[in-house]
């Protein structure tokens, strides 16, 4: 063992321990580990050296097409989010299940099916915000849904040759470096599909006991600042003719439907089977986060027409909370009498009054000192309101730009176009994502500012640093040392060798990229099969499965990294759920593969 291998293995063990035992941000830990690998002085053949690899090799992960693709996909997702396209996708694919297990089925089944034929990175990128919003409406924590989302995408990728880039890497190596017949589209399906069904069933049955439940603080739901919001079912609304339950307006987290005004009739309380009609005015009460989501609900419109009289286009506006100052010019006047829109170039869409339910149409509400107003306005509202001395406090709400629902079909079409370009191999994934991101901005599905703000830099840093650490294992020979050491222990029994190959590939995939792991194991595996005098095909299938079915660590597979932050997960969350999944996938692969592809 060289000093470089010793340094790499030491840093790797330390990194895994720190990820599992501390709450330090993963991006900080991985960058620190990469820095140690690049800066540690050690003796070499030509004197003292600094680092186990060059700086260029260490930071090559930050120019990796896979990492760049994830960054660009954030912009594509921003276009879907800002147009409400994500809500449309969620309503079509996810529906409204009656239980948490039902929710897991709704998430996993379509994602697994899509990932068998589409690159799983854009599938997961598209579904993360959809599942987050959907889970919020069902009052299910994202931490209960996002690991199953990633795992379903991984399992789906094992079901066809084009399901994941790992399969294509191995298939390409078989064609280029052996005399074996090229792999066919569904060769791996005989192993991947039963493995996906068994592991998916395990996750449905046992997963709810292992998955963390990290709900947001319930303080928000107990907030006495309960807003009253009036919404209208406009002409041509897709919600017209549906019941309240079918429209998804029942059991809302943090808000509820108080009454429906229909012509001169007031319907209260509102039952779940009450049918909505065009022209209905719906009165909701709820906390600010829930009211913000309701204001963006597809098929409902704000009852006040003041938002359509503002000067700025809606895609440049956002929501503000403002507290009315006591004894100001607004007190004891209705919103209409105060000429709020003319004075502040903003439209009041909801009012809260210290826990008291404020009834009546927005324009007719008589304001009092201390009232909380939810205002839709452009970026200059905070300055205008602050200078007027009519407000004690003004704050902007994050992610509150009104949805551009009319552009949702265009955003979904851009997404489908991107997937089509990749599926038919017209463009590589990165270039297709760049084209889609550009189309989202040019078509105003999202603004350039929203595109910039949508990128989660911590995820990209984790991916880039992890690839750099994997490069160190490859350059120093640490990965080969691990592989050779394990294979030397198992002797010449094909079943034991198959098990060892799966185990080693799985371990390498957990700490370096999956494509690097299978590329490294390919030559070792092929040589081992030839020395045993057996057909190499079962061994090729095994490294494909082991390289794809990586569940135990967030850095082992790209989709795991993508859900790491949004789910609020820790490293140990993946260990708790992922290790049993890894063991089950390994057992299925080792038992099924020789039956389908005999030695």
Predicted confidence (pLDDT) per residue in 93-122, tens digit: 787 787 889 999 999 998 998 888 777 777
Contact 43, 49 (CB under 8 A): yes
pLDDT at 221 over 60: no
Per-residue pLDDT for 479 more than 90?
no
The pLDDT of residue 580? 94
- Of the ranges 412-416, 520-524, 575-579, 587-591, which one carries the lowest mean pLDDT score? 520-524
CATH number at residue 381: 3.30.70.1450
Among the residue ranges 19-33, 210-224, 262-276, the one predicted with the least confidence is 210-224
Task: Write the pLDDT tens digit of every residue in 430-447.
Answer: 898 899 999 999 999 998
* Average pLDDT estimate for 23-38: 88
Q: pLDDT at residue 217 above 60?
A: no
pLDDT digits (tens, 9 = 90+) for 170-201: 888 788 777 788 888 788 999 999 999 999 99
What CA dihedral angle connects 383, 386, 392 and 393, to 10 degrees? 10
Residue 225 confidence class, pLDDT cut points 50, 70, 90: low
Closest listed residue to residue 402, CA positions, set 293, 563, 509: 293
Q: Residue 320 belongs to what domain range?
A: 220-396
- Cα–Cα dist 199/204, whole Å: 9
Angle between helices 537-548 and 571-596 (to 10 degrees): 160
| Predicted local distance difference test score (pLDDT) of residue 218 | 42
Where is average pLDDT lowest: 142-151, 319-328, 359-368?
359-368
pLDDT > 70? residue 283: yes
Enumerate the β-bridge partners of residue 49. 42
For the chain, give the number of residues.
599
Whether residue 167 is contained in a domain is answered as: no
Least confident interval from 217-226, 352-361, 411-420: 217-226
Six token digits for residue 526: 């092929």
Residues 234, 262: contact at Cβ < 8 Å?
A: no
With CA atoms as reference, report the closest residue to 373 among 346, 401, 398, 337. 346
Asked if residue 147 belongs to a domain, the reply is no
Average pLDDT over the chain reads 85
Q: What is the mean pLDDT of residues 549-559?
A: 85
Contact 502, 546 (CB under 8 A): yes
pTM over 0.85: no
CB 270 within 8 A of CB 244: yes
- Residue 146 belongs to a domain: no
Does residue 271 sit within a domain? yes
| CA dihedral sign, ordered 533, 539, 541, 544 | negative
Question: Does the pLDDT at position 160 exceed 50?
Answer: yes
507 part of a folded domain: no
The whole-number pLDDT of residue 215 equals 67
Categorize the per-residue pLDDT at 328 as very low, low, confident or very high, splitting at 50, 70 and 90. Answer: confident
Within-domain flag for 282: yes
Give a yes or no: residue 255 inside a domain.
yes
Which class for 42: exposed (0-12), middle (13-18), buried (19 or more C-beta within 10 A)?
A: middle
Residue 239 dihedral angles phi and psi, to the nearest 5°:
-85, -20
| Residue 502 near residue 586 (C-beta atoms within 8 A) | yes
SS3 assignment, position 254? coil
Q: Is residue 137's pLDDT more than 90?
A: no
Q: Give the integer Cα–Cα distance in Å for 334 and 367.
A: 6
Q: Closest by alpha carbon to 478, among 469, 487, 467?
A: 469
**Between residues 513 and 82, the one the model is more confident about:** 82
What's the rounded mean pLDDT across residues 461-474? 80
Q: How far is CA 130 from CA 197, 203, 298, 504, 525, in A?
A: 24, 21, 14, 36, 41
Backbone angles phi, psi at 232, to 5 degrees: -120, 140
Counted domains in the chain: 1
Q: How far apart are CA 289 and CA 218, in angstroms?
A: 12
The percent of residues in the chain predicted with pLDDT above 70, rounded, is 97
> b vs e for 218-232, b when ≥16 Cβ sit within 10 Å of the residue's Cβ?
eeeeebeebbbbbbb
**In this structure, is residue 358 part of a structural domain?**
yes
Instruction: Give the side-chain half-sphere CA count within 13 A for 527.
Output: 8
State the helix-helix crossing angle for 571-596 and 494-511, rounded to 10 degrees. Answer: 150
């Amino acid at each position: 063992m060289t000093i470089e291998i010793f340094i790499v293995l030491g840093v790797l063990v330390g990194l895994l321990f720190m990820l599992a035992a501390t709450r330090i941000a993963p991006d900080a830990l991985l960058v620190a580990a990469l820095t140690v690998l690049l800066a540690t002085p050690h003796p070499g053949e030509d004197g003292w050296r600094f680092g186990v690899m060059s700086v260029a090799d260490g930071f090559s992960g930050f120019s990796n097409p896979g990492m760049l693709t994830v960054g660009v996909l954030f912009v594509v997702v921003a276009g879907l989010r800002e147009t409400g396209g994500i809500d449309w996708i969620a309503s079509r694919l996810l529906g409204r299940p009656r239980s948490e297990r039902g929710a897991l089925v709704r998430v996993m089944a379509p994602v697994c099916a899509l990932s068998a034929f589409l690159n799983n990175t854009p599938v997961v990128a598209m579904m993360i915000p959809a599942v987050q919003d959907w889970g919020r409406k069902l009052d299910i924590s994202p931490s209960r849904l996002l690991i199953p989302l990633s795992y379903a995408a991984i399992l789906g990728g094992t079901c066809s040759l084009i399901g994941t880039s790992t399969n294509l890497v191995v298939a390409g190596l078989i064609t280029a470096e052996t005399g074996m017949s090229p792999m066919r589209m569904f060769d791996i399906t005989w192993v991947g599909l039963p493995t996906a069904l068994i592991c998916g069933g395990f996750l449905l049955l046992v997963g709810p006991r292992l998955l963390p439940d990290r709900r947001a603080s319930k303080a928000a739901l107990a907030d006495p600042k309960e807003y009253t919001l009036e919404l209208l079912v406009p002409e041509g609304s897709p919600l017209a003719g549906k019941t309240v339950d079918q429209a998804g307006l029942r059991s809302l987290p943090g808000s509820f439907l108080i009454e429906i005004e229909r012509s001169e009739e007031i319907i209260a309380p509102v039952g779940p089977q009450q049918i909505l009609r065009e022209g209905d005015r719906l009165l909701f009460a709820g906390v600010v986060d829930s009211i913000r989501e309701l204001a963006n609900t597809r098929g409902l419109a704000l009852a006040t027409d003041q938002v359509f009289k503002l000067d700025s286009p809606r895609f440049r506006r956002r929501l503000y909370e403002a507290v009315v100052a006591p004894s100001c010019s607004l007190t004891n006047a209705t919103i209409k009498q105060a000429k709020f829109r003319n004075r502040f170039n903003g439209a009041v869409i909801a009012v809260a009054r210290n826990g008291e339910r404020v009834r009546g149409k927005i324009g007719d509400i008589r304001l009092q000192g201390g009232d909380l107003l939810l205002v839709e306005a452009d970026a200059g509202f905070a300055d205008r309101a602050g200078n007027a001395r009519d407000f004690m406090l003004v704050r902007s709400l994050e992610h509150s730009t009104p949805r551009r629902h009319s552009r949702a079909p265009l955003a979904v079409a851009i997404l489908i176009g991107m997937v089509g370009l990749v599926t038919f191999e017209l463009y590589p994934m990165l270039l297709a994502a760049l084209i889609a991101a550009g189309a989202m901005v040019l078509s105003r599905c999202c603004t350039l500012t929203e595109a910039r703000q949508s990128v989660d830099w911590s995820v990209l840093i984790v991916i880039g640093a992890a690839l750099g650490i994997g490069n160190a294992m490859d350059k120093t020979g640490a990965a080969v040392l691990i592989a050779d050491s394990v294979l030397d222990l198992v002797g010449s029994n094909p079943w034991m060798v198959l098990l060892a190959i799966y185990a080693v590939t799985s371990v390498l995939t957990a700490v370096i990229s999956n494509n690097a792991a299978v590329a490294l194991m390919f030559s070792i595996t092929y040589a081992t099969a030839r020395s045993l005098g057996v057909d190499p095909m079962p061994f090729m299938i095994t490294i494909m499965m082991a390289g794809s079915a990586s569940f135990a660590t967030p850095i082992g597979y790209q989709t795991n990294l993508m859900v790491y932050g949004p789910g609020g997960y820790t490293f140990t969350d993946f260990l708790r759920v992922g290790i049993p999944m890894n063991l089950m996938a390994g057992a299925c692969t080792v038992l099924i593969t020789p039956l389908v592809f005999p030695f």
